[in-house]
Amino acid sequence: MSGIGGHQSHIRFSDDWITPPSVIAALGVFSFDPCPSSIQKSGYLGMRCWDYGTDALVQDWPKNDRIWLNPPYNKGLGLWLAKLADHGDGIALIFARTETKDFFDQVWGKADGIKFLRGRLTFLLPSGVKPSGNSGAPSCLVAYGENNLDALVASRDLGGVVVRGWKI
């Protein structure tokens, strides 16, 4: 799809990408990642995780854990965001497609804050190598829980934060 309403990327389609570790590190310590890449194992950046390919949408996420979520989009973004919103303690990294149904249903009105990232991220390939291009779209961090809103505010170098309609 192309044109004004289209979303396109020059990077081959895959749900197996590694978040730049500097992004996660800027947000503090997370205890669980329900959607690790194929090369991530428990202990990656201090987080526990299930095996790659485990259907995290049907699992009970660990209570009292702070969740890092870079979800695969193959099952629908709204399902992932709804699960994190219900959990109530975590940050999701998603594309900043603010006009979509998923964004309206699961972010606007539910999230404690949103950080719109400066520039476009370059995710790593499962091999750990940087691809030749970036993600192809702007990204944002969506915080559920006051402690996660505080983490967005504290990570000033990453971009700007919107809290209940106010930009910080």
Instruction: Classify residue 163: in a domain, yes or no.
Output: yes
Instruction: Classify residue 5: in a domain, yes or no.
Output: no
Instruction: Classify residue 32: in a domain, yes or no.
Output: yes
Each of the 168 residues of the chain gets a pLDDT tens digit; together they read 333 333 334 344 566 677 888 899 999 999 999 988 877 777 778 899 998 888 999 999 999 999 999 998 777 899 999 999 999 999 999 999 999 999 999 999 899 999 999 988 877 776 676 766 656 678 999 999 999 999 999 999 999 898 865 555
The CATH number of the domain holding residue 102 is: 3.40.50
SS (H, E, C) the chain: CCCCCCCCCCCCCCCCCECCHHHHHCCCCCCEECCCCCCCCCCHHHCEECCCCCCCCCCCCCCCCCEEECCCCCCCHHHHHHHHHHHCCEEEEEECCCCCHHHHHHCCCCCCEEEEECCCCCCECCCCCCCCCCCCCCEEEEEECHHHHHHHHHCHHHEEEEECCEEC
**Domain enclosing residue 161, as ranges:** 21-167
Total of domains in the chain:
1
Instruction: Classify residue 117: in a domain, yes or no.
Output: yes
Instruction: Classify residue 88: in a domain, yes or no.
Output: yes
Instruction: Classify residue 9: in a domain, yes or no.
Output: no
